[in-house]
Structure 1
Amino acid sequence: MSRTPNTHLRALLEEAGWNGAQLAAALRHIATEYGQQLVCDRSVVSRWLSGTTPRPPVPALLLEVLSRRLQRPLGAVEAGLSRAPSAMFDLSGEADPLRRLSQLTRADLDPSRRHLLGAGMYSLAALTVPDAWSPRENPPTGPPPDLPRTKGRAGQAEVEQMQTMARVFAEAAEAHGPGHVRTALAAYLGHDVTGYLQSRATEDLRRRLLSGAAQLTVLLGTMCAGSGADALAQHYHHTAAQLAVEAGDAATFAITLRTMSAHAHDLGHHTPAVLNLAQRAADATRSAAPIVAAYAHAHLAVIQAHHDKHAALTTLADSERLYEQANNTAPGPFTRYPAGALHYQRAQTLATLGDTAGATGALTASLRLRTPAEHQARTLTRARLAETLLTQGHLDAALTHWQTFLDDYPTLHSTRTTRRLEAMRRLLNPHRRHRTTAHILTQAASIH
């Protein structure tokens, strides 16, 4: 049986200005970024172009490498990859954020479809946010016409309920790690919140409902990132940004862009695209409350430190000035920015600039200011402080903090704490003959 040539992939290859050997080399290189080894050469690419369907994870890698080359996100259909085994969850053709949210949560909650969400990969190319995305002045007063209407009504009580649930879910994730909370939030969004958004509403009420949905969705994205589901987190973050645009909510839009940039940075990326996203987040806070502006500018300084020392220090000073001006007493994950978090961003900035002593001081202040409710943040701060102390040769002081980190580790279900555990093992291995170090490494080896 003859195969149908993949003309879509060939067209993209020509647009990229690559031959088969160059595409193969780019694929091998990008595979290493994701910790994979890929056997691929010109002959393999030739077979794909002739109609052979590549097997996972190649389809996801192909989309990412071509998206980066062409500087625009590509979907599986556009690359002729929609028939690949375990086809990726492709939302490239879905522009409406409410439909995107409904499709994502349904797949996330369906065991038979959840594997599709994991078939994709985190995409640097998808960090580009269209310039046209800016909060609307007049959001639509109803759901998309092809979505079913709910029989019930949504009002101010549902708006307040969503605000309460955002606090509850954020506090639970901070206390226990996102792995224990993520599915419950996906169910609430998929079952309750999408129902509220399918009701007719006045313009003002519609704004509030969309804002609440955007905030809950960015929280879910962050929980996915904290659970190691980075590609799914990216889908949720993009959807949250679109919902904030529909709501005309500049503050939530800025927070979402900042979150997307921070997610990329946590994964080790600080490219111009990551910087641009952080800058857009800061720019979007011009009419927002000072506390939101401080939050966005502090992260911008973290990213600028990889590119421009003077700009980073200037922006860091701006964030601290904005923080001093802010009313930081309102409860909730979108209205409060803990002082310990600001010092943590200061430490990140200074560490990148090579000021290890300054970073140590900032992390010490951050740890001191963390409250008992900031359990995950306190644990991560302690681990970072231990790492920084070790770089200065203070092994005993670092071990004290790492011991506490290990004691707290089992209480958190979080990929971020797992990464810090792995870093601790790697950094302490050269000191394994030290008695206390050996004890800590033995304890760490028993943790699964």
Structure 2
Amino acid sequence: MTNRRRPNQRLRSLLSEADWTQEALARAVNALGSEIGSELHYDRTAVAHWLSGTQPRRPVPELVAEALSRRVDRTITPESAGFSATAPEPRGADPVSAITSLSRSDADAPRRVRLQQRPYRLADAKVPPRPATLSSWYGRAGPAAPSPRALALHDAVRFFASSIDAHGGRNGRSALAAYLADDVGPLLRARARHPDRPELLRTASRLSFLLARMYEDGQLHGLAQHCYTHAHRLAAEAGDRADWGLVLRAMGAQARRLGHIGPGLRLAEAAAEAVRTASPPRRAYVQAELAVVRARSGDRRGALAALSAAEYASDRSGGHRTAHRPQGAHGANADANGSGSGSAEPGPEKGTGKGTGTEARTGTGTGTGIEAEGPVVVRRRIDPASGPAANSAAPGPDPLPDPPGPSRPSGPPTRPDPPEPHTPRQQRRTPGTTCGPAPGGALRAPSVPPPRTASRAEGGAVPEPTADGAQTGGGPFDVYSPAALSFQVSLTLEALGDLSGALSALGRSRAERQPADVRGHALTQARMGRLLLRCGRLDDACVAWHGFLDGYLRLRSGEAEQAIQGMRRALTPYRSRGAVVDLLARALPGGPDEPPPPPPSSPAGH
């Protein structure tokens, strides 16, 4: 630390305005550190040093400014908080220059550290103005066939999307940044007036999207947010309304995962409007996220309506589901849609509202495809009036369950509402909170159906890279698999309190995933273990977590690391049980199944 000559009165005034103690500010800074992949342990004595005039090293001034900005609901800069001026971020006047500058900074080691310390800025998690260029190009026919240069970029999209699925977001990230800086940027500048420029811009937007997804999976949320901004600007420059909306959907999902439900909802709603007349896979992808964030905000009927819209769009795109019949109110086969874990975005629903079909489909969050497809499924109607209210709290670790024991329904069932006319094929079941038998069959031997050809659905793209893309000839943005949708359903159902439905959806998601989707399968297993433990099924949870560890060794993924840390915390009360002893032995830091840790970021001192 370097000492200042005078006390920091600006910081003291801001603390008073925020009505925060020194300890409260320290906790907020530590929490923000986790959003950029840094483990910080500041306390009130560190804040006292800052108030006395001590200048902390980066990224602490930026984290303090962001913490105070969120608290007082106005923008606070490090300078206005009494810290030294910070160097401005690399920016460009146009989106091509901006993404090129960011990518080159990532390729340079000293600049990379500074770049990765960028905090996630809540003020930037807002719906950008709708560019005027969208109306001029949206729906306009493109060239008969992509140019050779555009085809090369499409091949790169497939390659890096598959890399995320197979190896995690930390693998190949610097290679994608170098490709954007050294190949894509110069190509776009050289073909500023060429007829294929819109297609090149669209593909550059997708590559930027994938880079943002890699940053997010590496727990570099501030940098991911910055990259998403460049991605939607490139899509706007290309005049592609649907791709612009897909990026907004990813930004909203990131905000939701960080606990910012309000901004996540606004971004998801704007994305839904942007893709309103787009191809079915795009609409399904956006509506699935809208269902999750509405459930998290307490809007049960809105969540179920969005799920119904996602399922209808998926049906139109040729999606198929696994045949499934409910077995009683709390049976193993109670329909619930949700899939994936970690960055995948599961959508477990409990008491779902009228007019929505909850169908098991598995899928992951934006940028990675954890998808599997199976035969046709029977959809059911769920009563929105029954079941507990949706959980609108910010995401956080689940409370440790009581030792395993029989589970009980949370309350008496209520009379279901009459079926909605727009979902006549759905069957009705009584929602419940209890957990039935292992979803999707035996945990130890999940069946994975053979891959089938996925429909490109009107040639539309979805923003979720999938293993199916390489197999079917369509790119990773061209399909939205049932596996991906099931993951979102699981998230929705869990937020609405339907753990049985969420588990059923996760079981289908797991069974449908392709072998190449190591990350999606592992994160789905980790999420299933957590839900099974909440249901008091310790042995089944351990089986699911063993499945997670099987894939964990092959991944370089921050979300997978978070999953294993959550597993260790959840199993602490049961650490003397035989099944848990064996599981924790596999998961010990430095143990045989522990992958090497990522390179540490620059330490932040006082």
TM-score bucket of the superposed structures, by smaller chain: 0.7 to 0.9
2:89: which partner in 1? Answer: 90
Match of 1:166 among 157, 168, 177: 157
* More off after superposition, 188-197 vs 388-397: 388-397
Match of 1:418 among 561, 576, 580: 561
Q: Do structure 1's residue 336 and structure 2's residue 327 form an aligned pair?
A: no
Alpha-carbon distance in structure 2 between the residues aligned to 1:223 and 1:168: 13
Q: Do structure 1's residue 175 and structure 2's residue 173 form an aligned pair?
A: no
Alpha-carbon distance in structure 2 between the residues aligned to 1:423 and 1:364: 20
Pairs aligned (count): 421
Shift of 1:41: 9.4
Quick check: which one's helix share is greater? Answer: 1
1:360: which partner in 2? Answer: 503
Alpha-carbon distance in structure 2 between the residues aligned to 1:81 and 1:253: 37
1:39: which partner in 2? Answer: 44
2:273: which partner in 1? Answer: 283
**Which amino acid counterpart does residue 277 of structure 1 have in structure 2?**
L
> What SS does the corresponding residue of 1:329 show, helix, strand or coil?
coil
Distance of aligned partners of 1:62 and 1:138 in 2 relative to their CA distance in 1, 3 Å threshold: farther
1:209: which partner in 2? Answer: 200
Contact 2:22–2:48 (CA<8 Å) still a contact in 1?
no
1:128: which partner in 2? Answer: 126
Shift of 1:202: 3.8
1:144: which partner in 2? Answer: none
Contact 2:50–2:56 (CA<8 Å) still a contact in 1?
no
**Which amino acid counterpart does residue 128 of structure 1 have in structure 2?**
K
Contact 1:59–1:81 (CA<8 Å) still a contact in 2?
yes
Distance of aligned partners of 1:444 and 1:69 in 2 relative to their CA distance in 1, 3 Å threshold: closer
Contact 1:135–1:253 (CA<8 Å) still a contact in 2?
no
**Which amino acid counterpart does residue 394 of structure 1 have in structure 2?**
R
Contact 2:521–2:548 (CA<8 Å) still a contact in 1?
no
**Which amino acid counterpart does residue 29 of structure 2 have in structure 1?**
A
2:551: which partner in 1? Answer: 408
Shift of 1:198: 0.7
Contact 1:208–1:247 (CA<8 Å) still a contact in 2?
yes
Distance of aligned partners of 1:336 and 1:5 in 2 relative to their CA distance in 1, 3 Å threshold: farther
Contact 1:20–1:42 (CA<8 Å) still a contact in 2?
no
Alpha-carbon distance in structure 2 between the residues aligned to 1:369 and 1:357: 19
Distance of aligned partners of 1:200 and 1:22 in 2 relative to their CA distance in 1, 3 Å threshold: same
Shift of 1:166: 0.1
| 1:363-419 CA-partner distances (Å, limit 9, x unpaired) | 111111111122211111111112111111122222112112112211111011111
> What SS does the corresponding residue of 1:180 show, helix, strand or coil?
coil
The aligned runs of 1:42-61 (5 Å cut-off) are: 53-61=55-63
* More off after superposition, 52-61 vs 405-414: 52-61
**Which amino acid counterpart does residue 277 of structure 2 have in structure 1?**
S
* More off after superposition, 310-319 vs 125-134: 125-134
Match of 1:237 among 218, 228, 232: 228
Match of 2:98 among 96, 100, 109: 100
Alpha-carbon distance in structure 1 between the residues aligned to 2:223 and 2:563: 22
1:146: which partner in 2? Answer: none
TM normalised by structure 1 equals: 0.84
Gaps of 5+ in 2: 35-39, 138-145, 319-453, 457-473, 596-606
Shift of 1:76: 5.8
Alpha-carbon distance in structure 1 between the residues aligned to 2:121 and 2:167: 28
2:263: which partner in 1? Answer: 273
Q: Do structure 1's residue 64 and structure 2's residue 54 form an aligned pair?
A: no
1:149: which partner in 2? Answer: none
> What SS does the corresponding residue of 1:225 show, helix, strand or coil?
helix
Shift of 1:319: 0.7
Report percent identity of matched pairs.
35
1:147: which partner in 2? Answer: none
Distance of aligned partners of 1:215 and 1:42 in 2 relative to their CA distance in 1, 3 Å threshold: closer
TM normalised by structure 2 equals: 0.64
1:109: which partner in 2? Answer: 107
Shift of 1:43: 7.4
> What SS does the corresponding residue of 2:476 show, helix, strand or coil?
coil
Shift of 1:58: 2.9
Which is bigger in relative contact order (C-alpha 8 A, separation at least 6)?
A: 2
